Chains A and B, each alone.
Chain A
């Protein structure tokens, strides 16, 4: 668990560097910090360790999740452009420090062995996100989003805590191993019925974080109101960490009680798929569309949680990685275009603001297109295989009806993702050449190439996951 310690230290160092260093170099330093902690994470490969009084466990699965989360953090930092040149209102040192702290929270969420640790991790991540959402202080929408996120998020945390309490009450342990032991040594009839309520409540608390319907109402507003760079962070890191936790709770810990929670989760999955996709089709704002698309992708990933097959964890990993790369690229392009269009058009985040991007910015347009194609699940992109593996799982479990809905919904998905491609390539508009930093370009291209390589040769990672 060295990365957890390292990242916390790095965050504190970052805060102090804010006094001494130039703002531009902070970005590079933060990148180095994250790369360093990724290396520390990878060093534990093929070892199983217990940490902090057995409250956390690292194994290959948690390392994979940690690496994806830190990769997302890396992309976000590289895309961040040093948070603009506004000397008065932005505090890059603090932002980078908070990003690092929230990564710590995410790492706790993927490797917890004790429910308290899950709660602590979730709160570290969430509180950091509340702050970052509201970091655009002069923007009313950003403030509104932060407050909304905070209020709704606290409720969800309440659910989670109550669920933990009920589970503790019925199994007399907060440790996953203890819970599993007690559950296997108690006759099912003698288990108190509030255990099931506890499982469902914990599920709800976590499903809120990954914005599954009907707990998704905060998502579009918060995603839209938050500065785009933090929306990117939210939709990649929080989602991956959330899914790691859901998998750990529902499939690993309470997999034996599947019949008790499966109906609820099924219902939530189907609603998520339908609501996310249909609402996304109606959006005029590209940013809002991506918010709804993140809801719909939560639906696809929940499908594999429902299937609960031996390959589920590897499918969640693959899907998260594909989704992370594509989402980061699409938000990044949206961000630089919106920055350029601010002041030029009334709504810089609408699809219309992207009109004619391909004319003078072919590489941005290409990257955006690859990202949208991957999100839509078109072959030769990573997103296709993500969906493919999920659907394979479903077929192995004979879950035919949800697949039919999922497949129909991915046809709906084409419509709204292609709206972006239509704006970029088909519509005419005046966008001059947008200058981006060197780090931005590197991050953009590596994410793009990653998406394509994973799309052509998925075995590359499937053999590791």
Chain B
């Protein structure tokens, strides 16, 4: 097994780390899109997250790793099983499935098992990458190079959480709920708006310009490559602590409160910044809640909202050809305008 660069050894890239951790705490956030220049460590961070995730309980023998505790989300095979004896369960690492370039539709959706069909005449379904990614992460590196027909089916499945296969005489539907993580270089071409909308959070990363930080990054990378096992062992304590924090965050998540003031402020920010649709607002509040849970707070405050606002709204801002400041700046400006408004209103009331 190849060693993976530890998440806790990543230097800088705070926004990216927070977004990935928020998605780990609340997988229903809708995934993370990571855009950045070459050599910024986009895919390093995503792959590092995989090694960090806590294990999950699955029904033994289920090809879609259904959760024994969630009968409502079971696949047809698990539902068809008699209720007693109760299905055996086991622990599995959370799948982080790569959607490689050049993947073909049959391997993504799943297809007829050719060998069984030809040799035994049995019509059997062979699950694809979407089945493997159920309850885990689906990672698309170079997401803007993904073939159009794969983008289409990805949009559909990511939205519905169900993969429906009607081909080659098969009629199969199975759960395919996954956190979609994409990364790419914005210079390589744009993403379809429909796909863009499937990502809850969108992060832009750059290489740090601080020389000390750059030296540290190169040094750690070099140390890792020269002795992967030793490096990973060295960072194990930090990794375990982080994993614990994710678990604690998941537990706390349902109890984290979002009060009316926070909701109101979010929707005012969205209106002011000019976002399309309601999804931005919703994602922003949920991401802030996940972050609060991760950091051990019982309530969503302004700090959390501010931290997640750029990631939640950046890819949903209406295009403005006359504004060249960039999306982060626009959100910052909207926040400042809201603050000024609030200060004026406070003054009037006093």
A associates with B: no
B residues engaging A (CB < 8 A)? none
A residues engaging B (CB < 8 A)? none
